[in-house]
Amino acid sequence: MREILKYSNLIFLYALSHSYLATCFAIDLKIQGYEERYIGLSLSMWGIGVIFGAILHNFVRKKLNLFSTILYGSIIQLSFSLIFLIDQNTYLVALMQFVMGITSAINSLTLETHISSKFRKSSGFYISLFWSSAGLGAITGSLIIAVNGINDFTYKIAVIFFFLHFIPIFLFRVSITQIKIENVSLRLSKDVLNRIKYLLMCVVLFGACDAGFSSLFPSYLLEESFNDKQIGRINFLAGMIALVFYPFMGKLVDNYNKTVIFNTFCFINLINLFILYFISDFYVYIICVAFYYYTIGTIFLITFNIVGKTLEGGVIVFGIAGHYISENIGSFLGPNLIGNIININISYFFLIFVFLYLFILILFNFNQIKNGGPSGT
């Protein structure tokens, strides 16, 4: 548990700086008058960066230990964040998202693979604690936006957050340096991908839903006449509600039927989306967005857990890398696809997610029927 808490400090600060900056980008670009399709394209470059990071993971880990990787990544992110003190436009946003995606993927992939391997029997519980730290970081960023809004201090605050990365990096240097992950061959990766390919297709669609919602929901709210501080309050309060239940997420996934939980949570989110479509109210948004955050977090944990339970040894690295890549193919496609559709009519926003969730249900259940075993229980 103490080891997990050490890593959680890192992921908290990563999530705080990245989520805060991404939300500021989404609101700021909309206020500047950019169309949703360009906002979606800029923010979606995070997904492309993560794909590159996951592909480069083995190469980087052969050359550098985790401490050096995190240190250099943080220096690069801090350097790029200084650019936004001068100017903010879609090109710079796209570049920053791409860089943050690469560095985050390499670091998070190593840490999460380490946790899945070391705490195999209760991996769902420990990964959920790890993700809870990320959730806490994200809602802390939303709180700051709720209080400060978008103004001259917005990007100065972001620079401070990137400076804070260096505190846990040096504080836990010894523990971080000792983490080692086995490299695997391409031959193994093909076998792995064949065993979980339908599950990974499902993850692509989830990545599209997750990134599409988080990137473009602020634009939708601005169209509904909410201001920047109100958007920050909705995200903060919804995140707080979801975060209270996050630790139970892991126990749920570790101890109960994954297929039943997955299908139940998908149907809950479908109902949730219809409520959001028909009712435009500040407090309804808080409750529904909280359910959305919690259910999508649980669903991601189920797919992540199935990969870890199905695969063994060094093969886990490629399975989780495949999960990362699939999620972030969706993270690239989602904001672009959804941004272009709502650019035609903003009222289509929630309906797009309904169709995506129906396809997700079909793919996941086909995977369970086809594979059986650990992933089918």
CA dihedral 183, 187, 192, 193 (to 10 degrees): 110
pLDDT at 25: 87
Chain position carrying tokens 């990362």: 324
Chain position carrying tokens 């340096």: 177
47-91 tens-digit pLDDT = 888 888 877 777 777 777 777 877 888 888 888 888 888 888 888
Length of the chain: 377
Compute CA distances 191 → 9, 214, 294, whole Å.
Answer: 35, 33, 32
Structure tokens at 156: 């100065």
pLDDT at 41: 85
pLDDT at 373: 47
| Long-range pairs for 226-230: beta carbons < 8 A, 24 or more residues apart | 226/282, 227/149, 228/27, 228/31, 228/145, 228/149, 228/150, 229/145, 229/146, 229/147, 229/149, 230/146, 230/282
251-276 tens-digit pLDDT = 777 777 888 888 888 888 888 888 88
Could you give the maximum distance between any two Cα atoms of the chain, in Å? 55
Query: Rounded to whole angstroms, how far apart are CA atoms 230 and 282?
Result: 8
Mean pLDDT calculated for residue range 7-32:
82
293-352 tens-digit pLDDT = 888 888 877 887 777 666 655 556 666 667 777 887 888 888 888 888 888 778 788 888
CB atoms within 10 A of CB 30: 22
What is the three-class DSSP state of 137? helix
- Binned at pLDDT 50, 70 and 90, residue 280 comes out as confident
Structure tokens at 207: 């990545």
Closest to 221 in 3D by CA, of 342, 99, 89: 342
CB atoms within 10 A of CB 257: 11
Chain position carrying tokens 């560095």: 103
Answer whether 223's CB lies under 8 Å from 346's CB: yes
121-136 tens-digit pLDDT = 555 566 666 667 777 8
C-alpha 256, offset from chain centre: 24
Which domains are seen in the chain, by residue range? Answer: 2-376 (1.20.1250.20)
Answer whether 54's CB lies under 8 Å from 109's CB: yes
- Calculate the average pLDDT of the chain: 79
Query: Rounded to whole angstroms, how far apart are CA atoms 316 and 311?
Result: 5
- Binned at pLDDT 50, 70 and 90, residue 192 comes out as low
pLDDT at 69: 78
Closest to 330 in 3D by CA, of 213, 209, 219, 216: 209
Query: Rounded to whole angstroms, how far apart are CA atoms 26 and 93?
Result: 10
DSSP conformational letter for 256: S
- Binned at pLDDT 50, 70 and 90, residue 7 comes out as low
Question: DSSP H helical segments within the chain, as ranges?
Answer: 2-31, 36-63, 66-81, 90-118, 123-148, 154-164, 166-171, 173-178, 186-195, 197-223, 228-255, 258-278, 282-310, 315-344, 349-371, 373-376
Q: Is the pLDDT of residue 375 over 50?
A: no
Q: Is the pLDDT of residue 208 over 50?
A: yes
pLDDT at 317: 61
- Binned at pLDDT 50, 70 and 90, residue 142 comes out as confident
Answer whether 175's CB lies under 8 Å from 6's CB: yes
pLDDT at 125: 62
